[in-house]
Amino acid sequence: MALKKVKGNIERMFDKNLTDLVRGIRNNKENEAKYITQCMEDIKQELRQDNLTVKGNAIAKLTYLQMLGYDISWAGFNVIEVMSSNKFTLKRTGYLAASQSFHCDSELLMLTTNMIRKELNSQNQYDAGLALTSLSCYISTDLARDLSQDILTLLSSTKPYIRKKAVLMMYKVFLKYPEALRPAFPKLKEKLEDPDPGVQSAAVNVICELARKNPKNYLSLAPVFFKLMTTKTNNWMLIKIIKLFGALTPLEPRLGKKLIEPLTNLIHSTSAMSLLYECINTVIAVLISISSGMPNHAASIQLCVQKLRILIEDSDQNLKYLGLLAMSKILKTHPKSVQAHKDLILQCLEDKDESIRLRALDLLYGMVSKKNLMEIVKKLMVHMDKAEGTIYRDELLAKIVLICSQNNYQFITNFEWYLTVLVELAQMEFGSKQGHVIAAQLIDVSIRVQAIRSFAVAEMAQLLEFYASNSQFSIMQDVLYSAAWLCGEFASELKEPEASLIAMLKYKSLPPHIEIVFIQNILKLYACCLMKYELAQDYDKICGMYEVTQRKLENSLKSPEIEVQERASSTLMILEVVHCEVMAKKGVKTEQIMEDFDLPIDAEVDKGETVAMQLLNLFNGDLNPVAPKAQKKVPIPEGLDLDSFIEEPDFGENEYSSDSDYEIKGNLFVKDSNERNSKPELTEEEKVKIREARKNEQMNNPHYLKSSNKKYEDIPVAELQLDVPLKVLSKRSDKYLKFDNGAKKSRKNKRSKKHKVESSTDDDNELVNKTLMVNQNLELPEGATLSDSEGSVGNPDDPHRALDIDLDLPGLDEKKLADSPQPESNKIKSKKKKHNKIKKDKSVAAAAAAAKQPGDDGENKKKMKKSKDKKEKTKKKKSKELSNEYEEALGISTPSKEFP
């Protein structure tokens, strides 16, 4: 035996420890994987030895390798063996390895239950602390259930080190085993008044985390937390307490009235920005909950806004972001207090940090009113010209549209201005992903506001003409969708439908969903022009229009998209039928004139008899906006099975039975190399033409950076002598802003000069600026309403979901005790109680029968009522006493009328 010990000690001298492993990995960077593989083999050899010190050294090295990403789950039994060592140094190594390699679903955890229980009951506080720290990393439901009572007893330990760790560990136990919360809550409540500040802080942290789900359970702790908030100076504890009060205030408004004063004192006195932010957040929550009962809170709001302005003006980006975030919360309830700082919010749009710019945009959304809408949108559009980054520019564009369209265009007083802004945005941001947003807004405004349709259609007609005349794409393609749709749908509002039809027939290569709309609305414009020509009996123009339209639509028949082909084919067939009908009517008319010379050539034609009227009848009817989720609310008809086949497929045996009947030659999805290279090669002349065309396109493209060999120093500078000063061209939407400012000045003049006669220009201003009616009717299926909303489903992965329990209700254990069979002694006691109750009832009934006499029924009823009234009064007194005790504990003094 002695020789074996000596031999083992000699071998240990040559074993590699953790330091040697780290040094070896650094020295073998080129062959690191090979070196670690060799070390793994050495570690496995060490784990086979009987010496726990050698195994502890091997587990330490495995722990380091696990940090590098290597799997050590195969060494779970060895880790547990080292954890059970009597030496603290080896035990610490084992528990560290367990906290890194074990998880709540590990199968080996069942072997650790008794070992951890033994450590928790150890007299050495460091052994118990080590077990608690490690257990928190891999605690499972079974471990939480088995060890909850042992951890609960540690809350009464005489050592603050153990009590603090046990309090924090109880939170992990509650997450895995929520039934432990009821028996542990009284002891947890006691730890809030623990003499050790570390234990107090741990208890506050645990209760604040528990209150995330059901803060009502912890409302009774408000007096204790109020005392801690007014006496403690630990900022981190104060932050937790103030957060908890923010959750409790909506449940108890009287609490909010008491919190205002200490919170404002903290806001004035604290220099910690984190505590200041939480105080402001809680003050906002308090004022929201007690806004009806406490009207004089303007000073508190102004104080919060002033402190938030300091945060926003700070150079620290994190503080600036938090200031803007808190300001958005104040904006929801007190918009006027935030609107005074509009210039500061606009300055944040120039910040380098994109998240701060986006947060400032969210604030501007709530600061908009009828008076400042045009001004804010103008500044945002100017900022959009300077902004960089497509993502931010897209977000800015979407926010401008959202600001204007909120609450069914509540703040828009001039829809001509808004349509002009949309058109300018469409021309400003070519290539943006927000084109569909602008297109939807153009269609929505034109449908809802009937008085603006003529202006909207005129703008869209100009947009189409501009698109047709330019060779380069300088406008969002999705906006062409709305332009074509509006010009076709409201063709009667067009002054020159022929020009719009010619512009639409000049469309270039477009996405399929836009080309489909062009084809559909070309037919509508064709019908409108046909009506005009048919009434004028100008058949030559009808023939010319038909030929141009037919030629363009025939090109669309060659499109690779099936939907485009189908629309073009259907439209061509309709045009052919209509044209034949018009030509037939022309022949009948000429025959009538030849037969009857007295018939006038220029006789008027009735609209109802025209072919164009029959074509226009296809597009009659008003369109209303469709409500959101209207398609989901369409009821499924009875007898309709959406999962069944419309026609059962025939899976016959003879179908494709033999290979000779149905052979596939080659691969259907991959082309052969011969087919890929079968394209004809370009000649030199064609290559030169393509190159010249590309250079011309690059020269005309404003977004392409052109190289130049010219030296700008050699270019002479000539002075320009102009009689007229240069004028900077502004956007078309700016004239509405100037007009609005002029209208405001005229209103002021009217107030000062009441006795003067109003001018005609003022009348025109009022007519233009009057708020137009916005149609708010939404199409819905029969029986469906807008209030029918889908239920919100909670996050199933939320770890706090199990804590949503009511502590006032009995738990499962209490119910089991109530339902379990009672011992014989309890049965005898219950029988005696029942016997005594029966005797009392009999005596009461006999006394009532003896006292009852004819004519005394009314008196007996009065006595019964009096006894009931007394019972109710006693109950009310008890409830009042409880509420008074709660108020006195908090220091709340409120009139009894306000809280009966």
Query: Count of alpha carbons within 13 Å of 334, Cβ hemisphere only?
Result: 24
How large a percentage of the chain has pLDDT more than 90?
28
pLDDT of residue 689: 80
Which comes out higher in pLDDT, residue 188 or 828? 188
If you average pLDDT over residues 349-364, what whole number do you get?
Answer: 87
pLDDT of residue 606: 65
The whole-angstrom distance between residue 330's C-alpha and the CA centroid of its chain comes to 20
How far is it, in rounded angstroms, from Cα 125 to Cα 120? 9
Band of pLDDT at residue 900, cut at 50, 70 and 90: very low
Cα 257 to Cα 260, 290, 302, 616: the distances in Å are 6, 7, 17, 68
Please report, to the nearest 10 degrees, the dihedral formed by the alpha carbons of residues 438, 441, 443, 446 taken in order.
-130
pLDDT of residue 76: 92
Of 476, 481, 482, the C-alpha closest to 445 is 482
Contact status, residue 556 vs residue 565, Cβ threshold 8 Å: yes
If you average pLDDT over residues 104-128, what whole number do you get?
Answer: 92
Which comes out higher in pLDDT, residue 845 or 187? 187
How far is it, in rounded angstroms, from Cα 480 to Cα 445? 16
pLDDT of residue 541: 87
pLDDT of residue 716: 66
Task: Provide long-range contacts, Cβ within 8 A and 24+ apart, for 287-293.
Answer: 287/256, 287/260, 287/333, 288/250, 288/333, 289/249, 289/250, 289/253, 289/256, 290/249, 290/253, 290/256, 290/257, 291/333, 293/253, 293/257, 293/898
pLDDT of residue 295: 53
How large a percentage of the chain has pLDDT more than 70?
69
How far is it, in rounded angstroms, from Cα 328 to Cα 563? 47
Of 235, 233, 259, the C-alpha closest to 246 is 259
pLDDT of residue 788: 46
Average confidence score pLDDT of the chain:
77
**Best mean pLDDT range from 510-519, 716-725, 753-762:** 510-519
Check pLDDT > 70 for residue 853: no
Q: What's the predicted TM-score (pTM) here?
A: 0.61
In the chain, how long is the greatest CA-to-CA distance?
Answer: 144
Q: What is the pLDDT of residues 835-845, one digit of tens each?
A: 554 444 544 44
Cα 319 to Cα 272, 279, 356: the distances in Å are 11, 14, 10
**Best mean pLDDT range from 47-61, 300-314, 526-540:** 47-61
Check pLDDT > 80 for residue 131: yes
pLDDT of residue 811: 57
CA triplet 36, 40, 44: central angle to 5 degrees? 170
Of 167, 171, 99, 105, the C-alpha closest to 137 is 99
Residue 342 burial (10 A CB sphere; 0-12, 13-18, 19+): middle
Instruction: Point out the least confidently predicted range of 44-48, 296-300, 327-331, 666-670.
Output: 666-670
Check pLDDT > 50 for residue 817: no
Residue 503: count of CB within 10 angstroms of its CB: 22
Check pLDDT > 60 for residue 869: yes
Contact status, residue 275 vs residue 237, Cβ threshold 8 Å: no
The contacts of residue 395 (CB under 8 Å, 6+ apart) are 358, 361
Band of pLDDT at residue 144, cut at 50, 70 and 90: very high
Of 778, 727, 776, 774, the C-alpha closest to 418 is 774
Contact status, residue 463 vs residue 479, Cβ threshold 8 Å: yes
If you average pLDDT over residues 660-683, what whole number do you get?
Answer: 50
Assigned token pair, 693: 């065309």
Residues pairing with 779 in the sheet:
626
If you average pLDDT over residues 13-24, what whole number do you get?
Answer: 83
Q: What is the pLDDT of residues 230-249, one digit of tens each?
A: 998 889 999 999 989 988 88
Sign of the CA dihedral running 627, 426, 379, 774: negative
Check pLDDT > 70 for residue 752: no
If you average pLDDT over residues 83-102, what whole number do you get?
Answer: 94
Q: What is the pLDDT of residues 711-741, one digit of tens each?
A: 555 666 666 665 555 444 456 776 776 655 5
Band of pLDDT at residue 820, cut at 50, 70 and 90: very low
Contact status, residue 556 vs residue 564, Cβ threshold 8 Å: yes
Check pLDDT > 50 for residue 115: yes
pLDDT of residue 476: 79
Check pLDDT > 60 for residue 322: yes
Residue type, 556: S
Assigned token pair, 684: 């030199």
pLDDT of residue 384: 84
Band of pLDDT at residue 849, cut at 50, 70 and 90: very low
Q: What is the pLDDT of residues 390-446, one digit of tens each?
A: 788 888 888 899 999 988 888 898 999 999 999 888 887 655 678 889 999 999 999
If you average pLDDT over residues 79-99, what whole number do you get?
Answer: 94
Band of pLDDT at residue 746, cut at 50, 70 and 90: low
Please report, to the nearest 10 degrees, the dihedral formed by the alpha carbons of residues 758, 761, 763, 765 taken in order.
-130
Q: What is the pLDDT of residues 264-287, one digit of tens each?
A: 888 888 888 888 888 888 888 887
Contact status, residue 53 vs residue 90, Cβ threshold 8 Å: yes
Assigned token pair, 155: 């809350």
Sign of the CA dihedral running 782, 787, 791, 795: positive
Contact status, residue 342 vs residue 372, Cβ threshold 8 Å: yes
Residue 509 burial (10 A CB sphere; 0-12, 13-18, 19+): exposed
If you average pLDDT over residues 463-485, what whole number do you get?
Answer: 81
pLDDT of residue 542: 87
If you average pLDDT over residues 45-60, what whole number do you get?
Answer: 92
Instruction: Point out the least confidently predicted range of 68-82, 179-193, 649-663.
Output: 649-663
Q: What is the pLDDT of residues 516-541, one digit of tens each?
A: 999 999 999 998 998 888 888 888 88
If you average pLDDT over residues 467-486, what whole number do you get?
Answer: 81
Residues pairing with 626 in the sheet:
779
Q: What are phi and psi of 626, to 5 degrees?
A: -90, 135
Check pLDDT > 50 for residue 640: yes
**Best mean pLDDT range from 251-260, 404-413, 809-818:** 404-413
Q: What is the pLDDT of residues 618-634, one digit of tens each?
A: 887 776 777 777 878 88
pLDDT of residue 133: 95
pLDDT of residue 139: 94
| Placement of tokens 């018939």 in the chain | 599
The contacts of residue 171 (CB under 8 Å, 6+ apart) are 205, 206, 209, 210
At how many degrees (to 10) do helices 253-269 and 298-313 cross?
A: 40
If you average pLDDT over residues 686-705, what whole number do you get?
Answer: 76
Q: What is the DSSP letter of 304?
A: H
Band of pLDDT at residue 765, cut at 50, 70 and 90: very low
